[in-house]
């Protein structure tokens, strides 16, 4: 009398590796493999272990998971019926991934010797395993090719739409890598958008800065120069120089909070508002108070700007200025040394109706003013030390010349030497004016 086939036979035969296996061989494999149950979250196969068994999933769904120092990544979700862990069992290799029950799971635990016996009785099982390994290799190679192209695109800043399509919509053979591809695609898309926004922000910033300061009609009474080294993530630094009348020269420097297009737009709004307020002929305090009220009223994004605004009278050297939360300006004496000009306050665009006090000093022939943003003093060297105000003052104090351009070039070069090639994390902006 023949032995009755086990009830799991039809399910197991539904697995591609066993579809051509004889009933006798398959029945023996099933009878010799104990049935085990797993609750959701329980591990069927541990990553990294070397084991002598595979699992035939009869009911439920399992997740194939890879773990690394970056966390877990689900490579695939496999419904029953399925054979898992057979490559590691047959080759006695360390598991490259784990298998976890996603739902309640019923499975057969197949020991290596029993699986080998089945392979001897049916070469189709081993052929299926080899075919599966070939599929893994093909999908890995395809994935590595996409990764290589993706990273090359990042380096070239050249993004082929077809590449993004492949990354966002992986084909069937690379479906196990879909999540990783989508993260990379998202990164590329984000970088592309970010670089486009940074280019727009830099364009706005450059367009607003004054050009041709050496051509200002100052009658040889003053020399003025400004420069900015933008950070990689463009900020909102600005400077401005313009004549109010024949004798009075307005000097402005500032730093808008934030980066990118929003900061550049608020920077342009701030510069325009300051210029318009200056034409009203009011005092420095009244002018800045009016400008602050305008910026507060038109500021739904709640941005703000530090600013130093001053008016230099070329006829007598009187310099009236007000500081709205900005780095204190330095007064450079013709005989050497420099002085920090007092005064401070809160930035523009935050509190409407505030009082902004002004201060006055007098420049003599050969004296100069040096205005700067915190990108200069907060530049950091490889050891994590800031450039600092003291180092800036020492450098300026050693330079007795009246060449504004040369002085700013010296500061920029000294900061670059100090950071030893590191990219600036903030715009570096300077403005200098010398009274002839």
Burial category of 64 from C-beta neighbours within 10 Å (exposed 0-12, middle 13-18, buried 19 and up) = buried
Torsion of CA 229, 232, 236, 242, to 10 degrees: 20
327's CB contacts (< 8 A; 6+ apart) are 306, 308, 371, 372, 373, 374, 376, 377, 389
Phi/psi for 96 (5° steps) reads: -85, -10
Model pLDDT, residue 173: 44
Residues 231 and 371 in one domain: yes
The answer, yes or no, to whether residue 96 has pLDDT greater than 60, is yes
pTM over 0.75: no
Q: How confident is the model at residue 160 (pLDDT cuts 50, 70, 90)?
A: low
The answer, yes or no, to whether residue 206 has pLDDT greater than 80, is no
User: Which two three-digit tokens encode residue 171?
Assistant: 């084909």
Residues 13 and 39 in one domain: yes
pLDDT in tens, 162-176: 655 555 555 544 444
64 in Cβ contact with 99 (< 8 Å): yes
Residues 103 and 252 in one domain: no
d(CA 56, CA 409): 73
288 in Cβ contact with 226 (< 8 Å): no
390's CB contacts (< 8 A; 6+ apart) are none
Among residues 121, 154, 189, which one ends one of the domains? 121
Residues 76 and 159 in one domain: no
Residues 230 and 371 in one domain: yes
- Domain membership of residue 222 (yes or no) is yes
Beta bridge partners of residue 61, listed in sequence order: 79
d(CA 434, CA 436): 6
For 31-35, 89-93, 134-138, which range has the lowest pLDDT when averaged over its residues? 134-138
The answer, yes or no, to whether residue 139 has pLDDT greater than 70, is no
d(CA 333, CA 339): 8
330 in Cβ contact with 340 (< 8 Å): yes
Model pLDDT, residue 233: 61
Phi/psi for 296 (5° steps) reads: -65, -35
370 in Cβ contact with 406 (< 8 Å): no
Model pLDDT, residue 194: 59
User: Which two three-digit tokens encode residue 170?
Assistant: 């992986």
* Number of domains making up the chain: 3
Torsion of CA 151, 157, 163, 168, to 10 degrees: 80
d(CA 10, CA 18): 10
Angle at 209 between CA 204 and CA 215, to 5 degrees: 145
Residues 216 and 161 in one domain: no
Residues 177 and 324 in one domain: no
Residues 113 and 145 in one domain: no
- Domain membership of residue 1 (yes or no) is no
Residues 426 and 323 in one domain: yes
pLDDT in tens, 371-412: 999 999 999 999 889 999 999 999 998 865 678 999 999 999
pLDDT in tens, 338-365: 899 988 889 999 999 999 999 999 999 9
Model pLDDT, residue 268: 81
Burial category of 411 from C-beta neighbours within 10 Å (exposed 0-12, middle 13-18, buried 19 and up) = buried
d(CA 322, CA 315): 20
Q: Percent of the chain at pLDDT above 90? A: 43
Domain that holds residue 38: 9-121
User: Which two three-digit tokens encode residue 105?
Assistant: 């799971």
Q: What is the mean pLDDT of the chain?
A: 82
């Amino acid at each position: 009398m023949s032995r009755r086939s086990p009830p799991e036979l039809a399910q197991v035969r539904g697995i591609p590796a066993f579809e051509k296996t004889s009933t006798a061989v398959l029945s023996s494999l099933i009878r010799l493999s104990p049935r085990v149950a797993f609750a959701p979250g329980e591990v069927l196969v541990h990553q990294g272990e070397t084991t002598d068994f595979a699992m035939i999933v009869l009911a439920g769904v399992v997740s194939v998971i890879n773990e690394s120092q970056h966390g877990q990544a689900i490579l695939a979700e496999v419904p029953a019926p399925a054979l898992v862990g057979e490559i590691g069992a047959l080759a006695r290799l360390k598991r490259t991934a784990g298998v976890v029950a996603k739902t309640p799971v019923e499975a057969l635990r197949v020991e290596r010797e029993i699986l080998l016996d089945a392979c001897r009785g049916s070469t189709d099982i081993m052929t299926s395993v080899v075919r599966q390994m070939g599929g893994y290799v093909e999908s890995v190679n395809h994935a590595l090719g996409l990764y290589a192209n993706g990273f090359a695109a990042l380096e070239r800043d050249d993004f082929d739409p077809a590449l993004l399509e492949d990354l966002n919509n992986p084909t069937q053979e690379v479906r196990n890598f879909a999540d990783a591809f989508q993260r990379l695609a998202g990164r590329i898309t984000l970088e592309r958008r970010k670089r486009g926004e940074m280019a727009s922000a830099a364009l706005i910033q450059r367009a607003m800065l004054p050009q041709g300061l050496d051509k200002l009609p100052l009658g040889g009474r003053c020399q003025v120069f400004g420069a900015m080294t933008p950070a990689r993530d463009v900020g909102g630094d600005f400077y401005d120089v313009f004549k109010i009348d024949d004798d009075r020269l307005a000097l402005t420097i500032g730093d808008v909070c934030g980066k990118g297009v929003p900061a550049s737009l608020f920077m342009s709004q701030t510069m325009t508002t300051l210029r318009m307020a200056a034409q009203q002929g009011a005092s420095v305090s009244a002018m800045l108070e009016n400008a602050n009220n305008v910026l507060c009223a038109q500021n739904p994004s709640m941005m703000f700007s530090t600013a130093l605004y001053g008016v230099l009278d070329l006829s007598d050297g009187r310099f009236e200025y007000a500081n709205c939360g900005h780095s204190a300006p330095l007064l450079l004496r013709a005989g050497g040394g420099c002085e920090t000009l007092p005064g401070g306050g809160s930035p523009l665009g935050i509190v409407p109706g505030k009082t902004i006090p002004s201060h006055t000093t007098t420049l003599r022939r050969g004296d100069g003013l040096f205005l700067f943003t915190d990108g200069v003093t907060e530049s950091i060297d490889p050891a994590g030390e800031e450039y600092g105000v003291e180092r800036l003052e020492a450098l300026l104090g050693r330079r007795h010349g009246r060449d504004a351009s040369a002085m700013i070039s010296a500061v920029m070069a000294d900061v670059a030497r100090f950071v030893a090639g590191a990219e600036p994390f903030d715009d570096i902006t300077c403005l200098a004016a010398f009274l002839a």
